[in-house]
Amino acid sequence: MAQLTANELVYLKIYFTNHVSSEIRFPYDVPDIAECESYLLEEMKFYLVVYHPYQVLIESIINDSFKTDMVFVYPPHVIAIAALFLSRVVDQGNQSDVEAQQWYADLNVDVTDVLQVVDELLAIYEVWTGYVDEKMPDMVSRYIADIAASC
């Protein structure tokens, strides 16, 4: 592989700066794109606010996922889909309608990962609901004894 001298590099830079970049033509310039954006906004009636029906519930479920190691194990989109699933179950009580099943199928995500995240979240909620301060010293001492026994 031959090395280029400084003069050759300067010549190539000048050539490509003057010739190659000037040959690239885009059919639309900035004013055209801005005009199309205004048409799009006008068609949407300038309504850019989107309300999500499960927003608060999803945020609390996702915040709960940060208290576990699942954020290191599963990709963010899987955790988000599991949060959507759980929030819909909490809100509507079941997942039996065909439209929801088709929507989850169209996501092209591994369902086993989503269900594992859901199971982990449900297990955490079960532990949190059974938490009693008086039981903690006993639980910690058993945990330490288990660690000492395994070493």
Token look-up 């190691």 returns 69
Q: Is 56 helix (H, G, I), strand (E, B) or coil?
A: helix
pLDDT value of residue 1: 41
39 vs 46: CA distance, rounded Å:
10
CA nearest 79: which of 65, 93, 91?
A: 65
Give me the domains of the chain, ranges plus CATH numbers.
6-43 (no CATH), 55-150 (1.10.472.10)
Query: Which pLDDT band holds residue 109 (cuts at 50, 70, 90)?
Result: confident
- Of 108, 127, 120, 101, give the one whose Cα is nearest residue 61: 120
> Is this prediction's pTM over 0.85?
no
Given a cut of 60, whether residue 37 has pLDDT beyond it is yes
Instruction: Tell me the per-residue pLDDT of 121-142, one tens digit each, with 9 for 90 and over.
Output: 998 888 888 777 777 788 778 8
Q: How does residue 94 score in pLDDT terms, banded at 50, 70 and 90?
A: low
| CA 44 to each of CA 35, 49, 108, 115: distance values in angstroms, whole numbers, following the listed order | 14, 11, 29, 37
